[in-house]
């Protein structure tokens, strides 16, 4: 007979939470903010994965989501306590993103101007994920000023933002969406 597990614990009702390892911190702690941003990004990538995209892109997005969970686990851990049971986030993840970027980019028209996000809902979802990714990256860099953050996590986030930009362009092309170039208006 299985016992029902409750989702709520009531331990955070006063604005604190526990990092992996048990350390209690405020829910507005920089580490909590950083892994919350990673979680939000992971959710947006799930939204992209649920769209009408090709199977290869869907598979890559799932790999990205799995690696985001690894990054979240590391960021949600107290760096002062041992976390040997966490899987590593390896350089091969960054290499995979670079290979995917290059493959997609080779099939896209050369970019000569900034482009406005939009043109198709999937393109817009990719751009939203890209901007959330940049926010997550900024929060990780801010956290690194006061606490340990593995360099590979920041590198992964930087490359992931580039990947999401190129994926936006690629899915736009796949769906016949026009890219709208941005030309700054000169003030007179």
- pLDDT tens-digit profile of 84-122? 688 888 899 999 999 999 999 999 989 888 998 999 999
pLDDT at 32: 77
- pLDDT tens-digit profile of 25-44? 556 678 878 998 999 999 99
pLDDT at 136: 98
Question: Which tops the pLDDT comparison, 21 or 79?
Answer: 79
Question: Which tops the pLDDT comparison, 123 or 24?
Answer: 123
Asked if pLDDT for residue 1 goes beyond 60, the answer is no
Alpha-carbon distance of 118 to 180, in angstroms, equals 8
What is the residue-wise DSSP string for 66-90?
Answer: HHHHHHHHHHTB-TTS--TTSPP--
What radius of gyration do the chain's Cα atoms show?
A: 19
Cα 106–47–172 angle (5° rounding)?
30
pLDDT at 184: 84
So where are the chain's domains? 24-78+86-177
Per-residue burial over 58-80, b if 16 or more Cβ lie within 10 Å, else e, is eebbeebbebbebbbbbbbbbbe
Q: Which CATH number does 24-78+86-177 carry?
A: 1.20.1200.10
Asked if pLDDT for residue 21 goes beyond 60, the answer is yes
């Amino acid at each position: 007979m299985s016992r029902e597990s409750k989702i709520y614990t009531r331990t955070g009702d006063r604005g604190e939470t526990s990092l992996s390892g048990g350390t209690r911190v405020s829910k507005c702690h920089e580490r909590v903010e950083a892994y919350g941003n990673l979680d939000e990004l992971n959710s947006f990538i799930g939204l992209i994965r649920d769209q009408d995209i090709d199977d290869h892109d869907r598979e890559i997005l799932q790999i990205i989501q799995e690696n985001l969970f690894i990054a979240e686990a590391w960021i949600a851990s107290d760096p002062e306590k041992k976390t040997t049971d966490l899987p590593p986030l390896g350089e091969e993840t960054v290499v995979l993103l670079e290979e995917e970027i290059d493959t997609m980019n080779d099939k896209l028209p050369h970019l000569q101007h900034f482009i406005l996000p939009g043109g198709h809902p999937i393109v817009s979802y990719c751009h939203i994920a890209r901007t959330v990714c940049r926010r997550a990256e900024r929060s990780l860099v801010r956290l690194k000023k006061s606490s340990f953050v593995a360099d590979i996590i920041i590198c992964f986030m930087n490359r992931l933002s580039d990947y999401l930009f190129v994926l936006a362009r690629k899915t736009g092309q796949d769906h016949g969406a026009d890219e709208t170039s941005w030309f700054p208006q000169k003030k007179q």
